[in-house]
Every structure is written in structure tokens, then in C-alpha cells.
Amino acid sequence: MKPLKEKISITIDSDLLEKLRAEAESDDRSLSQYINLILKEHIKNLKEK
């Protein structure tokens, strides 16, 4: 079963948002998918430390 998803609202610096959008597009992902991916990787890296 897929994990449940929740909608949230956040504020991101415009320069960071531009970079995230560009990276998501180059990875052929939506912005939301890309942010989820990098957050999951970050949490995984924190647990490995």
C-alpha cells in the first residue's frame, strides 16, 4: 500500500525554489516528488550518522 500523503504549505526562498524546479525538471519529476526525494535522502543520511 502506498504511504499516505498530506498537503502542507511552506515558504521557500525564491532563489532556492528556482534551483529546486530546475533540478526536478532535469530529473523528470514534479517539484513535489523531487522535494520528497531529497527530504527522504536527508533523513536517511541523518540516521546513518
pTM beyond 0.95: no
Considering only CA atoms, which of 33, 45, 28, 46 is closest in space to residue 5? Answer: 33
User: Is the distance from CB of 21 to CB of 31 less than 8 angstroms?
Assistant: yes
What does the pLDDT read at residue 1?
A: 77
Going residue by residue through the chain, which has 49 residues, state the pLDDT in tens, using 9 for 90 and above. Answer: 777 889 999 999 999 999 999 999 999 999 999 999 999 999 999 999 8
Mention every residue, 6+ apart, whose C-beta is less than 8 A from residue 35: 20, 24
**∠8-14-15 over CA atoms, to 5°?**
130
